[in-house]
Amino acid sequence: MAMGFAESEFWNGIALKALNEGNITIYKNDPVYGRVPRISDSGVFRRSIGEPKGQIADWRFTMPWDSRSVHAVEYIDRYEIHVDKYDPAKHPIMHLINDAPKYGSVILPLLALFPLFLLRKKL
């Protein structure tokens, strides 16, 4: 299905609502919004990765003017949407520290040790 104005407008509005209000849950057949357009057809959100929680996919809305990003986690029946303080594409280290500390506590020490490993190989 080609992206239409309605899909883009809907998901743009949802992203702005999340930025203003915080966490949102939208059901794919929502009592407020009706049948929700597919996020993949939005042209607003791009595929992303996230902590495995039984989801179908993760989606991210990035604003060029902001360090934050809107993260939508897609499940069979709903989208759970929250705002990350740091967009992982713009600020990966800050994202790991603030928005994904469970993974940052493992990945960041390994990254810090990597240069030592390279130096040891050269000696």
Closest CA to 54 of 76, 36, 21, 72: 76
CA gap 86, 69 in Å, rounded? 6
CA gap 104, 19 in Å, rounded? 24
Is a pLDDT exceeding 80 seen at residue 57?
yes
Per-domain residue ranges for the chain?
5-89
- Report the pLDDT value the prediction gives residue 99, as an integer from 0 to 100: 78
The stretch 22-34 carries a mean pLDDT of 94
- Report the pLDDT value the prediction gives residue 54, as an integer from 0 to 100: 94
Is a pLDDT exceeding 80 seen at residue 38?
yes
Is a pLDDT exceeding 50 seen at residue 15?
yes
3-state secondary structure (DSSP) of residue 51: coil
- Report the pLDDT value the prediction gives residue 1, as an integer from 0 to 100: 41
